[in-house]
Amino acid sequence: MAIFDDYAAALLRLEEKAQLRKLMPSFGVDFTSNDFLSFANSDRLKSAAISAIERGVPIGSGGSRLLRGNHPEHEALEGEAAAFFDAEKALYFANGYLANFALFSNLPSRNDLIVFDKLIHASVRDGILASRAISVGALHNDSNHFDALIRNWREQGGKGRPWIAVESLYSMDGDKAPLAELAGIAARHNGILVIDEAHATAVLGDGGKGLAASLGSRENFLILHACGKAIGVSGALLTGPEVLITYLINRARPFICSTAPSPLMAALVREALCMLSEEPQRRKSHARLVSFAGDEMVRLTNTAPNGSHIQPILLGSSARANTVANALQKNGFDIRAIRPPTVPNGTARLRLSFTLNVDEQHVTEMLTCLARTLEDTQV
């Protein structure tokens, strides 16, 4: 229909730039998911789901948490998560996007400043756009720039509270934020440090508690833990000071006006937290696999690994990223091209994700295929 011509034209432009997105089913050997510890299809979580249903846990919540949707499984999860992550209080959201949007659109006030890392997740950016606070992007992982931006704001008359927003492990680059330095900056400026642990939770830190666990328990932290990645279920847990969590329950429309997450999912997240404590061998096996993958990257592709379970292979153009990804897919490896605007222009890439859904032989076979494909597609 002619009435939709502008949408069709926009899609055509994306296709011409090799940036048109299409939904694809999972297939082949998994080098793309965030199921880092292979929890999602585990027998233990399957059994926990059956047991929860048998004891009467409903699949749907039936309403928002403030109406009839609040279930004992939600509250039990939040209490156990607060204890597990050494926080005063936790709040369970349906997903990390909703949690970040609720946080940033409600907690920072009109007189506050939000300083966010320029590579931070879109959910944080969208929450900031809905905020009344002033916001400014800092150079990626440059703690001095974070500090300078806050000092400049104060010198220009800023009277409120600074908020520092970072990911502990960046989802597309696999590098770690300088959390200790940022925590010091937040303390010096009487600010709040918000840490999205989405890709570190369950994998990194003491007992899988995330990278912020090494900083100790501090009253000026808000930390987001994803439940749909290494934890293997769905949802997200926002942990932090009780007063801020309670404020969100009372004021955050993304929480108040949303149907509550499935009580069954809450029960399964509870089980996954038990698995983290009771099955430490998963994390050890995963760390060995990541180390092996790093050695193989050097041997086979002459690429320096970053030491993370998320390894980008920068290819520059979207067209080349698509070509390399398609070649790997034809050889049975589920690897996707990551293109702008998800990543900055000129940095289209493959995002290799190392999970316990593969073994060392899979890694070697994939990297051998990648090395051959990169050589064949040199520009």
Shared-domain flag, residues 24 and 59:
no
Provide the domain limits for residue 28. Answer: 20-36+309-376
Cβ atoms of 84 and 273 closer than 8 Å:
yes
Does the residue 163 lie in any domain? yes
Q: Pick the catalytic residue: 171, 258, 353, 357?
A: 171
**In the annotation, is 229 catalytic?**
yes
Through-space distance between the first and last CA atoms of the chain, rounded to whole angstroms: 40
Distance CA 237, CA 92 (A): 5
Based on the structure, what is the number of domains in the chain? Answer: 2
Classified as helix, coil or strand, 69 is coil
Using DSSP, state whether 1 is helix, strand or coil. coil
Residue 144 and residue 81 share a domain: yes
Q: Both 32 and 89 in a single domain?
A: no
Same domain? 31 vs 62: no
Is the predicted pLDDT of residue 73 greater than 90, yes or no? yes
Closest CA to 73 of 256, 233, 248, 253: 233
Lowest mean pLDDT among 73-77, 143-147, 345-349: 345-349
Whether 301 is in a domain gets the answer: no
Do 201 and 253 have their domain in common? yes
- Token pair recorded at residue 121: 């997740």
Asked if residue 100 is part of any domain, the answer here is yes
Q: Which pLDDT score is estimated for 216? A: 79
pLDDT digits (tens, 9 = 90+) for 220-271: 999 999 999 999 999 999 999 999 999 999 999 999 999 999 999 999 999 9
Give me the mean pLDDT over the 93-103 stretch.
Answer: 97
Q: What is the structure's pLDDT at 371? A: 96
Distances (CA, A) of 125 to 119, 182, 327, 373: 10, 19, 33, 35
Active site residue 171: yes
Q: Is pLDDT above 60 for 379?
A: no
**Within this chain, do residues 323 and 267 fall inside the same structural domain, yes or no?**
no
Residues 260 and 134 in one domain: yes
> What's the pLDDT at 25?
86
What are residue 166's phi and psi, to 5 degrees?
-145, 165
Catalytic residue among 71, 74, 89, 121: 121
Query: What mean pLDDT is predicted for residues 64-69?
Result: 96
Continuous segment of H or E residues that includes residue 76: helix 72-84
Percent of the chain with pLDDT over 90: 93
**Could you tell me if 119 and 99 lie in one domain?**
yes
pLDDT attached to residue 115:
98
The band of 19, judged by pLDDT with boundaries at 50, 70 and 90, is: confident
CATH number of the domain within which 316 lies: 3.90.1150.10
Per the annotation, the verdict on 199 as an active-site residue is yes
**267 and 317 housed in the same domain:** no
Examine the domain organization and report whether 108 and 139 are in the same domain: yes
Active site residue: 89, 209, 225, 229, which one? 229
Strands laid side by side in the 348-353 sheet:
310-316, 348-353, 337-338
Q: Are strands 134-138 and 113-117 parallel, antiparallel or unpaired?
A: parallel
Asked whether the beta carbons of 21 and 216 are under 8 A apart, the reply is no
What's the whole-number average pLDDT of the chain? 96
Cα(96)–Cα(237) distance, rounded to whole angstroms?
A: 8
Identify the active-site residue in 173, 196, 271, 296.
196
Tell me which of 30, 35, 73, 167 is the catalytic residue. 167
Question: How much is the pLDDT for 1?
Answer: 62
Residue with the two structure tokens 């000026």: 220
Same domain (yes/no): 64, 129 = yes
Question: Cα(344)–Cα(122) distance, rounded to whole angstroms?
Answer: 12
Nearest to 31 by CA among 378, 274, 359: 359
Weakest mean pLDDT among 1-5, 57-61, 149-153: 1-5
Choose the catalytic residue: 74, 89, 199, 209: 199
pLDDT, tens digit, 9 for 90 and up, residues 28-53: 999 999 999 999 999 999 999 999 99
Q: Is residue 223 part of a domain?
A: yes
Shared domain for 228 and 334, answered yes or no, is no
pTM of the model: 0.94
Final residue of a structural domain among 257, 277, 297: 277
CB 313 within 8 A of CB 303: yes
Contact between 202 and 36 under an 8 Å Cβ cutoff? The reply is yes
CATH code: domain of residue 105: 3.40.640.10
Percent of the chain at pLDDT > 70 equals: 99
Mean per-residue pLDDT, 5-34: 91
**In the predicted model, what is the mean pLDDT of residues 131-148?**
98
* Within-domain flag for 187: yes
